Amino acid sequence: MPRRLGGLIWFLVLLLLVGCGKVSVIEAPHLVMPTPGMPQLSDLAITSVDFDPALQGNRLLISKDYLILAAVENRGQRVERNVAVTAYLLEEDSRTIVFSRTVEIAELAPGAVTVVKLGPQPIPRGIGSNLRLIVKSTPGQFDGDLTNNQRDFLIQSAP
């Protein structure tokens, strides 16, 4: 008998609540909450690339030593370890590598941004006048957005 009475009370409470409130559902911004036992989403991004010394317009000066500075952001939800960041400077044909450098970030916390220095590297004489710079990071194990792991630039060399 007490079990039936409890069910009856819940039924009456439910009847009283019907029509007393309004429920609306609004789409929330994309947010992935970590679930125990599920892999957490990674998202490493190359957010900006610069040169030290700065370029003269869109031109590299031949025989000058340059550092390539790349900002890497962890937009994911997990600590990323041993993140390799590589810069390739290619001639226009994209087959001839003028130089390549790789540095490793030991650890990058979620939301953190770090700037890595690749070089210094002199720009040798005798290369073509149109160059392509590619800066990329290794994607995390469960990287949710592979489109932001690499940045490409077209650059001209000048004597």
- Cα distance between residue 106 and residue 116, in whole Å: 11
Instruction: List the chain domain ranges.
Output: 44-158
Q: Which residue has the tokens 């030290």?
A: 52
Q: What is the pLDDT of residues 65-108, one digit of tens each?
A: 888 899 999 999 889 999 999 999 888 776 788 888 999 999 99
Which phi and psi (to 5°) does residue 101 adopt? Answer: -140, 145
Q: What is the pLDDT of residues 98-135, one digit of tens each?
A: 888 999 999 999 999 999 999 887 776 667 677 888 89
**Structure-model confidence comparison of residues 154 and 121, the more confident one:** 154
Among 2.60.40.10, 1.10.10.10, 1.10.150.120, 3.10.20.30, name the CATH number for the domain at 44-158. Answer: 2.60.40.10
- Cα distance between residue 72 and residue 75, in whole Å: 9
pLDDT at 45 over 90: yes
Predicted TM-score (pTM) of this structure: 0.69
